[in-house]
Amino acid sequence: MKYTKVGSTAVVAMAVLALAACGGSSSGGSSSGTKKMTLMVGVTGDPFYVSMECGAQEAAKAAGVELNVQGPKEFNPVQQNPMLDGVRAAKPDALLVAPNDVTASAKPLKNIQDDGTKVVLVDTIVKDEKIGVSRIASDNKKGGEKAAEALKELGLTKGKVMAISTDPGVSSVDARVEGFKAKAQELGFEVLETQYSHNEVSIANKVVAAALQANPDLVGVFATNLYTAQGVAKGVSNAKKNGAVKVVGFDAGPDQIKQLQAGEVDALIAQQPYEIGKQGIEQALAALDGKSVTQNIQTDATIVTKANMASPEVAKYLYKKEC
């Protein structure tokens, strides 16, 4: 009796494990010639990282590299670190990783690097500068500059503009704000004090409502991320200022594109995650082949408007939900 039960558990457990194995890329094969790489994204399912994965897959395919993609369900070092330790045990030739925390992610990455795996940091970084043969990320400052340029492209030449960001002290959005302020000033706009939304739609909404009360002649707002842009758009339409106040959002995932199509925002600044993924593979290959590696690569940003989003040069930078 007891034996049959244990036996049946064994059979079912094996079946499940086999099922899971089917879902994976073929592994365990002793094709020693092909290079194996792992891409550990910041969070699974996010269009930014999906696009990065697409770029990496394409470059991997072209170079005959076997690429395995992993990622935590939340952007969270507590979830990502154990996965990194798993990658360490798997000993890939190279790891492309978007670390979840500048401090907490350092330890597992150092272990992986010490074991001889080439580590390339994509999108996010860790403080420890010894980690990573190459670091590839968006130039957020340039993204902010593009946001100011977008206002000009939308027909504005002068007037009051402002940035609404998530929180002070977040390096990526701080750089966007910095770039925006400098460029806007250079272009002849009057730049108001930056306000913060704490990444909440409702707060962004209130902030922009108050700003419009104080400055009825506000002509442009740069919202540094998705939720902030949603709140800003709502605030602007509540104040019946649609059209009079131009809103520039950041990133170009499906949700942002919807905002653009609905006329809630007038322009988007697209980063180039596809490019980051592609260059990540290329840098990893260069490191493995002993060729010269570029330590820091900053990718460009693109202005997306309703008018240009269909053109192929712009459309290729819109983020993807799947490859």
Partner 1 sequence: MNTTKTRRGAAPDAPQKASAFSMVRTALSQTSGLTFAALIIMVIYFSFMEPGKFNTISNFDLLAQNLSILIVLSVGATFVIATSGIDLSIPAAVVLGEVFATKALGWFTVGEGTAVDVTDSETKLSYILVALLAALAAGLIVGVLNGVIIAYMHVPPLLATLGTLGSGLGAANLLQDGTNTGTSALSPVTSGEMIPGLSNIILIAALTVIVGWVALRLSVFGRYTLAIGSNEEAARRVGIKVERHLIKVYVLAALASSFGGFLSVSYFGTTALSGHTTDNMQAITAVALGGTSVFGGVATMLGTLMGALIPSLLKNGFIIMGVGAYWQDVAIGFVLVLTVWFDQMRRKARTKQ
C-alpha–C-alpha distance, residues 25 and 115, integer Å: 23
Give least dist CB 236 to partner 1, A.
Answer: 25
Which tokens hold the place of 89?
């045990």
3-state secondary structure of 318: coil
C-alpha–C-alpha distance, residues 286 and 273, integer Å: 20
Query: One symbol per residue from 229 to 258: x for binding partner 1 (CB under 8 A), - otherwise; what is it?
Result: ------------------------------
Give me the phi and psi of 239, to 5 degrees please: -85, 5
When binding is defined by CB under 8 A, the residue of 50, 65, 69, 147 that contacts partner 1 is 69
Q: Which candidate, 216, 313, 301, places its Cα nearest to that of 267?
A: 301
When binding is defined by CB under 8 A, the residue of 9, 185, 261, 294 that contacts partner 1 is 9
Query: Does position 323 bind partner 1 by CB under 8 A?
Result: no
Which tokens hold the place of 231?
């709140």
When binding is defined by CB under 8 A, the residue of 4, 28, 129, 292 that contacts partner 1 is 28
Sheet containing strand 296-299, edge to edge, reads 66-70, 36-40, 94-97, 118-122, 134-138, 296-299
When binding is defined by CB under 8 A, the residue of 58, 63, 68, 159 that contacts partner 1 is 68
DSSP class of 71: -
Q: Which of these segments, 2-10, 205-213, 255-263, 268-276, binds partner 1 (CB under 8 A)?
A: 2-10
Give the pairing of strands 134-138 and 94-97. unpaired
The interface with partner 1 within residues 76-105 (CB under 8 A) comprises 76-79, 81-83, 85-91, 101-104
For partner 1, the binding residues (CB under 8 A) are 1-2, 5-6, 8-10, 12-14, 16-17, 19-25, 27-28, 38, 44, 68-71, 73-74, 76-79, 81-83, 85-91, 101-104, 106-108, 111, 167, 169, 198
